[in-house]
Structure 1
Amino acid sequence: ERIMKAIQQTFPVKADAEITMEMNPGTVTKEKLETYYKIGINRLSIGLQTTDDERLKVLGRIHTYEQFLHNYQWAREVGFQNISVDLMSALPKEDLASYQKDIERILSLQPEHISSYSLIIEEGTPFYNNDEILDHLPEEEEDRAMYELTRQLLQKEGYHRYEISNYAKEGKESRHNSVYWTGGEYLGLGLGASSYLRSDHRYVGDKEKEEVYAYRFKNVSSMKEYLENPVTVCEQREEWTEITKKDAMEEFMYLGLRMRKGISEKEFFEKFKEPLEDIYGEVLLKFHSMNLLAWNGEKGERQIYLTAQGIDVSNAILCEFLLS
């Protein structure tokens, strides 16, 4: 409650602002949810992942499906009308039938937003050298079948796919995520919070570095350091990255094209003062001729987006927009 009051006193918060809280099932009470709703939080993002309790244990999650159901019902009862649920596919010992059961259970609840990602095993994670996990992952063909099943079942239920891995009811797209995918600015407050700010802000960066387009930085994660240095947010950083115009162009393309609406040629010029055609004309023509990219409008004002076939091979396409 104190945090919300401080934000409202410090920043001009819009009356219809989307205020999201991420929540792990099994970590809240109905009373807490009621308090969150009363102080202005109007959207919940719940990290369910799967409705199968055994697979939840494998993932190291502390909740059960039953706890998730209780939390979801409480959220509805106290007034939340905008709830997102995270779903994960291609889990160990998971097949198409069990994954379909996951989707159908979630759809029966009719959340306003569903995020759906495949499990990716990355180096440095607990699963990376775990043969018990690695030996029981679905084959690539089954993973692809789960991906396609997600699209079919969610679209049938009225969810539109506004980003490669995100589906929403009309008007319920995540505003925060959309800001990120379109290269918008965001300010992170508190321990370990990340920010992305244009270099023309008076309180961030080195004004002598004209080649720097923006800065991405992270606040310190140590509570001790944070309290010892309660000054401006920019001076509490433990990570700091200078984003050049070239970097920003790349991000504009490979993040923006993840969205179904794609990217605006006019917006590219307004941001970077260079025609999109001069920078990416060759790669755009290449994928357009392969029916992987499409566009609407006249040259200079086109809206460019991935086709259905392009979405299916999006990783291979998006890496082509790296200028290095």
Structure 2
Amino acid sequence: MADKLLGLYIHVPFCIRKCAYCDFYSVPYNPDAMTAYARALAAQIRRAKPYAHGRKADTVYFGGGTPSLLSESDAALIISALRETFDITRDAEITLETNPGTVNSASLSAFHSAGVNRLSIGMQSASDAELKLLSRIHTREDFENTYLLARMEGFDNISFDIMYALPWQSEERLAYTVSYALELSPEHISFYGLKLEMGTPFGINPEIAAHIPDEDTQVAMYTKSAESFERRGYKQYEISNFAKAGRESRHNLKYWRSMDFLGFGPGAHSFIDGRLFSYKKDIKLFLGTENDTILTEQSNTPTKSELETQYVMMAFRTSYGVDTDDWGKRFGGNFALKYYKKMKPFIDKGFIIQGDGSFRLSREGMLVSNYILSEILDFN
């Protein structure tokens, strides 16, 4: 039954202020619009009943945007619709992305009572100057208060998001952020390098691009930080993710293991029964129609070759790598026979590690994963 377990993603696009680096779909926050949106989400979730047949769901992820802006009643409405529609397991992981400064004791208590049992807090940096540069609405103090309140309200599974390779960032300033985060001892840390996305304030500002740390500095930032995480008991299980034992993000592992998931809300993506589809990034349309065909932006059934390529790309992001038995069950044949010749130069250099029934990237391999994948996979 494990292969039938679904992941459910809920997109909440509202933000108080859009961050200077962010290209995710979002709209300005308005309480009345949020309530209308929650009702529309609940309706869309209930329309997904046919996908629920014969399946259980064991992860729910509220992403955004800023889902922590949901009112207690709106969050309860959405979670109630999920439980009415899907057979959600008793031990389901239910994650809420949380921006510091958008929650208080009452809202955190209400989220916890509604079933949320994991928070992903957008720390990003322990430097107020860096937070201001990123256009974040919070300070380091706001972040710490949010974290401590969450602990007081009973959350025992908390993740921090940390960004590195920020404009003008030094290795020393990043080391301070990493040390500060480790002293608070969350269960999980996501550690992402800044990407300059086209169309964002950062992406169109040449001064920002000119002050991004150089490649050698970024490698040192990544390597030293990863070593610091591991010294404190956080195992790296994906290129950008570290966790204490048993605290990996079960929801995100579904993406990296090419498992089925359903997304709800404008801009959300789904992969289920071999079909990929996504919804248009248009909140007005979402609020104005209950026809999911009209709301759908893209829908296609990937070929076996495309699914295989995606599987290998996602699996190599993780520290587990490609499970050759699982690959064989999905696609037939022998993974080693098909790919070994192309992988051998990277095995010889220590970038790919061959285990008992698996192939995975070393940390050094993770640093050049895009190049390795371009060499072993056929993207044409």
How does the TM-score come out when normalised to structure 2?
A: 0.76
**Which string of whole-angstrom CA distances, capped at 9 and with x for unpartnered residues, describes residues 43-85 of structure 1?**
0011111111111121121111111111111110000000000
Deviations along 1:138-177, whole A, 9 cap, x unmatched? Answer: 2222211111111111111100001111000000000111
Distance in 2 between residues matched to 1:33 and 1:239, nearest whole Å: 36
CA change 1:53–1:171 in 2 (3 A) is same
What are the superposed Cα offsets for residues 190-212 of structure 1, whole Å, 9 maximum, x if unpaired? 233211112xxxxxxxxxxxxxx
Tell me: CA distance 1:134–1:266, structure 2 relative to 1, closer, same or farther (3 Å): same
- Mapped to 2, the partners of 1:193 and 1:134 lie a distance apart of 29
Structure with more contact order per residue of length (Cα contacts < 8 Å, sep ≥ 6):
2
Residue 316 (structure 1) aligns with:
371
Give the 3-state SS of the residue equivalent to 1:261 in structure 2: coil
Amino acid at match of 1:271: R
For 2:275, which of 204, 207, 215 is the aligned residue? Answer: 215
Query: CA-atom RMSD, angstroms?
Result: 1.7
The alpha carbon displacement at 1:235 in A equals: 5.4
Q: After superposition, give the CA deviation of every residue in 1:262-308 in whole Å (9 maximum; x if it has no partner).
A: 111111111112332454232123322333212223xxxx2111134
Correspondences of 1:91-240 after superposition (within 5 Å): 91-198=166-273, 214-231=274-291, 233=292, 236-240=295-299
Q: Kindly indicate whether the alpha-carbon contact (under 8 Å) linking 1:220 and 1:237 is maintained by their aligned counterparts in 2.
A: yes
Uncovered stretches (5+) of structure 1, i.e. residues with no partner: 199-213
Aligned length: 304
Please state whether the residue corresponding to 1:259 is helix, strand or coil.
Answer: coil
Q: Output the amino acid matched with 2:375.
A: E
2:307 & 2:338 partners in 1: Cα distance?
13
| Corresponding letter in the other structure for 1:220 | K
Check whether the contact 1:18–1:175 (CA below 8 A) recurs between aligned residues: yes
Which residue does the alignment assign to 1:211? none
Q: How does 1:279-290 map to 2 (within 5 A)?
A: 279-290=338-349
Distance between the aligned counterparts of 1:310 and 1:220, measured in 2? 36
In the other structure, the counterpart of 2:160 is 85
* SS across alignment from 2:264: coil
User: In the TM superposition, what are the counterparts of 1:223-262 in structure 2 within 5 Å?
Assistant: 223-231=283-291, 233=292, 236-262=295-321
Q: Secondary structure at the match of 1:4?
A: helix
Q: Could you tell me which runs of 5 or more consecutive residues in structure 2 were left unpaired when the two chains were aligned.
A: 1-75
Q: What residue identity is the alignment partner of 1:314?
A: S
Q: 1:2-81, aligned counterparts within 5 Å?
A: 2-81=77-156
Q: Is the 8 A contact 2:105 2:149 kept in 1?
A: yes
Alignment-mate amino acid for residue 128 of structure 1: G
Q: CA deviation at 1:252?
A: 1.0
Quick one: distance in 2 between partners of 1:123 and 1:228?
A: 30
